[in-house]
């Protein structure tokens, strides 16, 4: 089960500048990937896969060293975003062919990106700070402890210029009831009321003829009362 923890963050002025710079570079890579995907599809009739995108980003970094300011996992996440945008676009095309009235929503170029996502690595939460690769240690308000294994971290700037850090955490689902004892199967029968898979037998609580006669007598009395 996945759970999200969101904390208010307070980066320093220099950290804000570095974050905004990286968001700008992220936007550049996103738009370049989108452009390359369109070009690739026109030339080959095939989609530009996420694997192709990551290879292309590696070449881009060699030609343009400024993109090395971005952590590698952040770049992979950008490729993942572009790939998902195209997957959703082609899914909508299929749905429209099957009669569903929806807008196709062709993937658009972005004018800005306001968050950086770190899947798997590139960050390390501490008590009141979180270390982010190529940024440093950022203060955040740790108002609640996280439970589970941290999968991803994202840092975002809102329109009101506030900063937030979000952790995606995965927890193992706890069974509703468990006494840590071996399970036992039950077989109901006529001779024995129940026989457990561990060999335990529960005798059949047979009703004696005397008890049956008594029940019949009570039923007759009730029947006579209803008639009268």
Q: Could you tell me which residue, 205 or 224, shows the higher pLDDT?
A: 224
How confident is the model at residue 185, as a pLDDT? 62
Helices within the chain (DSSP H only): 13-44, 50-63, 72-97, 209-227
pLDDT at 165 over 60: yes
User: How far apart are alpha carbons 216 and 208 in whole angstroms?
Assistant: 13
Q: What is the pTM of this model?
A: 0.71
Tell me the two tokens of residue 50: 């996420």
What is residue 7's three-state secondary structure? Answer: strand
Spatial contact of 59 and 32, defined as CB atoms under 8 Å apart: no
The stretch 76-100 carries a mean pLDDT of 85
Residue whose pair of structure tokens reads 């999200």 in the numeric block? 4
Residue whose pair of structure tokens reads 């001779």 in the numeric block? 191
Mean pLDDT score across all residues of the chain: 85
pLDDT at 227 over 80: no
Backbone angles phi, psi at 204, to 5 degrees: -75, 120
Spatial contact of 167 and 152, defined as CB atoms under 8 Å apart: yes
Spatial contact of 166 and 116, defined as CB atoms under 8 Å apart: no
Q: What is the DSSP string of 170-213?
A: E-PPPPS---S-----EEE-SSEEEEETTS-EEE--PPPHHHHH
pLDDT at 197 over 80: no
pLDDT at 192 over 80: no
How confident is the model at residue 221, as a pLDDT? 74
The pLDDT tens digits of the residues spanning 1-55 come to 889 999 999 999 999 999 999 999 999 999 999 999 989 888 988 888 999 999 9
How confident is the model at residue 102, as a pLDDT? 76
| Side-chain half-sphere CA neighbours of 88 within 13 A | 13
How confident is the model at residue 174, as a pLDDT? 58
């Amino acid at each position: 089960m996945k759970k999200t923890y969101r904390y208010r963050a307070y980066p320093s002025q220099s950290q804000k500048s570095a974050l905004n710079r990286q968001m700008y570079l992220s936007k550049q890579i996103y738009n370049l990937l989108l452009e390359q995907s369109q070009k690739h599809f026109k030339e080959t009739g095939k989609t530009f896969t996420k694997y192709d995108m990551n290879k292309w980003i590696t070449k881009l970094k060699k030609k343009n060293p400024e993109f090395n300011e971005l952590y590698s996992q952040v770049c992979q996440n950008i490729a993942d975003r572009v790939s998902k945008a195209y997957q959703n676009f082609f899914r909508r095309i299929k749905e429209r062919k099957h009669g569903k009235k929806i807008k196709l929503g062709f993937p658009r170029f972005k004018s800005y990106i306001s968050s950086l996502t770190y899947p798997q690595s590139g960050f390390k939460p501490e008590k009141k700070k979180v270390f982010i690769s190529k940024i440093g240690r950022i203060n955040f308000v740790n108002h609640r402890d996280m439970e589970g294994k941290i999968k991803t971290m994202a840092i975002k700037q809102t329109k009101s210029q506030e900063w937030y850090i979000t952790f995606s955490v995965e927890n193992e689902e706890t069974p509703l009831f468990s006494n840590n004892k071996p399970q036992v199967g039950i077989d109901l029968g006529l001779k024995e009321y129940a026989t457990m898979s561990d060999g335990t037998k529960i005798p059949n609580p047979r009703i004696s003829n005397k008890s049956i006669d008594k029940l019949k007598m009570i039923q007759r009395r009730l029947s006579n009362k209803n008639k009268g």
